[in-house]
Chains A and B, each alone.
Chain A
Amino acid sequence: AQRVTQPEKLLSVFKGAPVELKCNYSYSGSPELFWYVQYSRQRLQLLLRHISRESIKGFTADLNKGETSFHLKKPFAQEEDSAMYYCALRAGGTSYGKLTFGQGTILTVHP
């Protein structure tokens, strides 16, 4: 069975500082990784997926299979980045898009 771990429940940084939200996973096959975000009073929504190798709102994440990690990074945090962030994994070959989510990290960016 797959597992996703986000070791930090809370993360606080100041505006303009770099930020890294950690995500580690355990899965024996070839996973697909995602980051979802929930801003205050908004719905949970997809932020980015590893296969796209894209930067969204200045965030990037690289899948490191050796370290089984998919950390989310942004060089200069903004106040509007304050939100709940979830890392999620889709096991390779799993049908129907079923995801396993981590525990979530609440990011607070102070002015």
Chain B
Amino acid sequence: DVKVTQSSRYLVKRTGEKVFLECVQDMDHENMFWYRQDPGLGLRLIYFSYDVKMKEKGDIPEGYSVSREKKERFSLILESASTNQTSMYLCASSFGRDLNEQFFGPGTRLTVL
């Protein structure tokens, strides 16, 4: 059974703080993804990674960076958090290049004050 875990369920930070969101998967998946989920906007891809140390920008990368030092772990970094980054952040992973299903984590609700 695929398990994708995220380090925090809820997180409250202040404007300007550096924020780390961690995601770990235990199924040896090559691909990992970070999305933000906002009402009326759906899921928007921030960054994804298809291998260790490899990353590609998604649709809304501004204000974010990522790190993938190990295959099982994909970190999302907010260098200087802003109030417009208050959102639900979802991590997902998938195997290979084809039609394989994306498996999602439980999400991290980030509030930036």
Contacts and interface: CB of A to CB of B under 8 A. Distances in A.
Interface of A: 4, 6, 9, 32, 43-46, 49, 51, 86, 90, 95-104
Interface residues of B, number: 31
B42 A98 contact: no
A16 B60 CA distance: 40
A38 B40 CA distance: 15
B97 A51 contact: no
A44 B90 contact: yes
23 contacts: A9-B40, A32-B99, A44-B43, A44-B90, A46-B101, A49-B101, A51-B99, A86-B43, A95-B50, A96-B30, A96-B31, A96-B50, A96-B56, A96-B94, A96-B97, A97-B97, A98-B48, A99-B45, A100-B45, A101-B35, A102-B42, A103-B40, A104-B43
